[in-house]
């Protein structure tokens, strides 16, 4: 029979091969799902893994989806490496979108393009405030940051619904709960005409470089990771656990808030109740599939955005529910957790 045997040290090969095996198993389970639903599995796999890549416009949409996922995942990686469990990035994303929208709504016909910087800065500050609230409750009252950050997601969504249905509601919007369309001066510059790809792509790539430098080339990043791996050693070395907590949640909240600001001032162009798209939760999977490494998260963000686009295409072309996107995301996470067992254990045949 097969038994799990502990390895003398973690396997370097399986630490990289585990995500690939998890993806393969997810694809195989997906094929079984398509067959069970009475759909052609080849067509199902094509809408998820080929159609999002087959044209320049499709690649642009892939970049639009991957940008917020990557930005949020970069902030979460700083948190998770610091042993701070921020599960509420979705709320920080929403608050960043609201703060950016508040600045964008102040613009008029005479406003210059400088306001774009103010919109993005407001998004960052909005996310930092919401992440800082979790840090303060953890620091002051020793509240569990998992529960606090998660509950604050629902508070943020309720605040969003209030402002779009009340004070910020477009009076000429046919009674729909949404703000007016933002003026062109506030919109994030696009890279190509006919495409929704904006400068947010470059900001996300700069975030990858900045996060890599911070985590692996600075003393502050080293202190964050030591505090997460060995809190007692961090205290002995003189590293402040309080500072690590605040840095992790402020950085994570700021990145999520920036993603929200880029989304409302970019592809969406206004604040609506549909801003919470689940990016904050999907970014957790992006972070772990990417092994909490900035470069790895680039590829996992692209993969996750393929699931988003594939789910939309499966709904319109194959008549499948859009919730299939969440099914694939959940399958990838659970299969990754299962395959990660092989990093510290190996299968051995015993009679």
What's the pLDDT band for 125 if we cut at 50, 70, 90? very high
Give kind and range of the element (H or E) at residue 346.
strand 345-349
Model pLDDT, residue 195 = 85
pLDDT digits (tens, 9 = 90+) for 30-87: 999 999 989 999 999 999 999 999 888 999 999 999 999 999 999 999 999 999 999 9
The ranges of the chain annotated as CATH 1.10.3470 are 54-305
Phi-psi category of residue 175: left, alpha or beta, with phi > 0 → left and psi -120 to 50 → alpha: left
Kindly give, in sequence order, each residue whose CB lies less than 8 Å from that of residue 218, ignoring residues fewer than 6 positions away: none
CA distance 155 to 88: 11
Kindly give, in sequence order, each residue whose CB lies less than 8 Å from that of residue 51, ignoring residues fewer than 6 positions away: 58, 309, 310, 313
CA quadruple 245, 246, 249, 255: dihedral, nearest 10? -140
Please give the share of the chain, as a percent, with pLDDT higher than 70. Answer: 100
Looking at the predicted structure, is the pLDDT value of residue 217 above 80?
yes
Looking at the predicted structure, is the pLDDT value of residue 296 above 80?
yes
Please tell me whether residue 90 adopts helix, strand or coil conformation: helix
Model pLDDT, residue 235 = 81
Looking at the predicted structure, is the pLDDT value of residue 1 above 80?
no
Please give the share of the chain, as a percent, with pLDDT higher than 90. Answer: 78
Compute how many other C-beta atoms are within 10 angstroms of the C-beta atom of residue 106. 13
Chain centroid to CA 157: 17
Please tell me whether residue 3 adopts helix, strand or coil conformation: strand
Model pLDDT, residue 349 = 81
What's the pLDDT band for 179 if we cut at 50, 70, 90? very high
CA distance 12 to 332: 21
Model pLDDT, residue 102 = 96
Say which residue the tokens 């790895």 belong to: 296
Q: How far is CA 55 from CA 58, 95, 197, 205, 249, in A?
A: 5, 34, 14, 22, 38
CA quadruple 12, 13, 16, 19: dihedral, nearest 10? -120
Model pLDDT, residue 227 = 81
CA distance 173 to 319: 31
Kindly give, in sequence order, each residue whose CB lies less than 8 Å from that of residue 251, ignoring residues fewer than 6 positions away: 75, 78, 79
pLDDT digits (tens, 9 = 90+) for 304-318: 999 999 988 998 888
Model pLDDT, residue 23 = 93
Across 86-111, average pLDDT: 95
pLDDT digits (tens, 9 = 90+) for 249-279: 999 999 999 999 999 999 999 999 999 999 9
Model pLDDT, residue 238 = 84
Please provide the distance, in angstroms rounded to a whole number, between the alpha carbons at the two ends of the chain: 6
CA distance 157 to 134: 16
The structural architecture, per CATH, of the domain 54-305 is: Orthogonal Bundle (1.10)
- What average pLDDT does the structure give for the chain? 93
pLDDT digits (tens, 9 = 90+) for 154-173: 999 999 999 999 999 999 98
Across 125-134, average pLDDT: 98
CA distance 268 to 260: 10
Looking at the predicted structure, is the pLDDT value of residue 219 above 80?
yes
Nearest to 264 by CA among 340, 344, 178, 205: 178
Model pLDDT, residue 29 = 95
Model pLDDT, residue 321 = 86
Looking at the predicted structure, is the pLDDT value of residue 348 above 90?
no
Compute how many other C-beta atoms are within 10 angstroms of the C-beta atom of residue 330. 12
pLDDT digits (tens, 9 = 90+) for 225-255: 888 778 778 888 888 888 999 999 999 999 9
């Amino acid at each position: 029979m097969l038994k799990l045997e502990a390895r003398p040290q973690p396997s370097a090969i399986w630490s990289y091969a585990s995500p690939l095996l998890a993806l393969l198993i997810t694809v195989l389970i997906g094929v079984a799902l398509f067959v069970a639903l009475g759909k052609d599995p080849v067509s199902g796999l094509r809408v998820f893994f080929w159609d999002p890549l087959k044209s320049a416009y499709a690649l642009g949409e892939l970049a639009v989806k991957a940008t917020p996922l990557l930005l949020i995942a970069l902030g979460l990686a700083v948190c998770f490496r610091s042993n701070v469990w921020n599960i509420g990035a979705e709320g920080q994303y929403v608050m960043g979108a609201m703060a950016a929208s508040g600045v964008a709504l102040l613009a008029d016909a005479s406003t210059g393009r400088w306001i774009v910087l103010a919109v993005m800065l407001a998004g960052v500050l909005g996310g930092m405030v919401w992440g800082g609230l979790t840090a303060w409750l953890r620091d002051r009252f020793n509240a569990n940051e998992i529960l606090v950050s998660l509950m604050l997601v629902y508070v943020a969504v309720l605040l969003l619904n209030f402002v779009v249905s009340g004070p910020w509601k477009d009076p000429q919007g046919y009674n729909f709960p949404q703000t007016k369309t933002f003026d062109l001066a506030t919109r994030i510059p696009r890279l190509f005409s006919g495409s929704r790809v904006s400068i947010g792509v470059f900001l996300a790539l700069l975030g990858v470089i900045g996060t890599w430098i911070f985590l692996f080339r600075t003393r502050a990043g080293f202190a964050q990771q030591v505090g997460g791996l060995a809190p007692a050693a961090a205290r002995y070395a003189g590293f402040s656990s309080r500072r690590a907590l605040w840095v992790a949640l402020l950085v994570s909240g700021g990145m999520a808030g920036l993603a929200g600001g880029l989304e409302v001032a970019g592809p969406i162009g206004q604040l609506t109740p549909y801003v919470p798209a689940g990016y904050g939760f999907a970014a957790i999977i992006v972070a772990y599939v990417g092994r909490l490494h900035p470069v790895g998260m680039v590829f996992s963000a692209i993969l996750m955005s393929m699931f988003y686009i594939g789910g939309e295409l499966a709904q319109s072309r194959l008549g499948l529910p859009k919730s299939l996107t969440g099914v694939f995301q959940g399958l990838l996470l659970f299969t990754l957790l299962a395959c990660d067992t092989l990093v510290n254990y190996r299968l051995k045949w015993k009679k």
